[in-house]
Amino acid sequence: MWLGVVTIFPDLVKAMFKEGVVGRAIERGDISFETINPRDYPLNSYGSVDDRPFGGGPGMVLAAEPLAACVQAARERVRPRTLKTALLSPQGTRFSQSLATKLSQLDALLLVAGRYEGVDERFITNYVDLEISIGDYVLSGGELAASVVVDVIGRYIEGTVNNPESIECESFTDDLLDCPQYTRPRVFEGVEVPEVLLSGDHRAVERWRHQQRIEKTWKRRPDLLVQRVNKETESAELRDCVLNAQPANLETVEEESLCEITK
């Protein structure tokens, strides 16, 4: 897969992938990764890529022309593959594990890191296929957000992670948080490892882990369980979790959804 980031601070993005599994995948060539700088396609001889907003107001706006030139350059680099372009924006679709999985199946993805007060709306209309937000907060620029997206997507690309099973068991897989993990010693400050993990009974271990995932999700992210209430095989387990543990953030789940889980 080809992944690219449009940014006026390319070194900031590149630094994020000098280490780690995604960085090693880029180094091996499992992932093709590039940055494209709008300053290579400036508005004028001064190297400007932004201007004051029409209608007045604070700050500057990234101009459409340099960004459009970056997209055109990316299209040329990835031919004959089809390029999709995503803008990192507070107004975008909330980034999630499921969205990352879908994006990892693309041939080529270009991420545009916004700056200042935003980007010219005409660029979004003509060139952007998807707007992505990594959360309800504002960053000083889109580079960190783009790096998050690259890292999450990169882990789904074949060859990046040595053991693919580790991805299948992570938090948010099947809309559940991960189960508790333990390693040596068996007793730490008086707390023992759950006996089932030492039993050697693989089926019992899997049942325990699945139950723990449901319980942890119910306690900490009950909103995720709303997406699972129609799975009949888990309805009894979900009801058991409701009876055994009250979630810490009930306000995050609509009352009707809670009734659906507990009925």
Same domain (yes/no): 148, 177: no
State the chain's mean pLDDT as an integer: 88
163 within a domain of the structure (yes/no): no
Residue 84 in domain: yes
CATH assignment at residue 27: 3.40.1280.10
CA distance 119 to 126: 12
Q: Is 128 exposed, middle or buried (0-12, 13-18, 19+ CB in 10 A)?
A: buried
Whether residue 37 is found in the same domain as residue 112: yes
Judged against a pLDDT cut of 90, whether residue 152 lies above it is answered with yes
Of 105-109, 171-175, 259-263, which one has max mean pLDDT? 105-109
Q: Are residues 139 and 179 in the same domain?
A: no
Give residue 242's pLDDT.
58
Reference 110, options 57, 149, 152; nearest CA is 149
232 pLDDT band (50/70/90 cuts)? Answer: very low
Query: Vertex 95, ends 23 and 206: CA angle to 5°?
Result: 80
SS3 at position 64: helix
Residues 136 and 192 in one domain: no
d(CA 6, CA 110): 7
Q: In this predicted model, what pLDDT tens digit does every residue of 72-116 receive, in sequence order?
A: 999 999 999 999 999 999 999 999 999 999 999 999 999 999 998
Domain region containing 207: 172-262
Number of domains in the chain: 2
- CATH classification of the domain holding 220: 1.10.1270.20
In a domain, 100, yes or no: yes
Residue 162 lies in a domain: no
Q: What are phi and psi of 93, to 5 degrees?
A: -65, 135
User: Residues 149, 187: one domain?
Assistant: no
- Cα–Cα distances in angstroms (integers) from residue 134 to residues 70, 93, 96, 117, in the given order: 23, 8, 8, 18
Tokens of 18: 């000098």
What pTM, to 2 d.p., does this model score? 0.81
pLDDT at site 81: 97
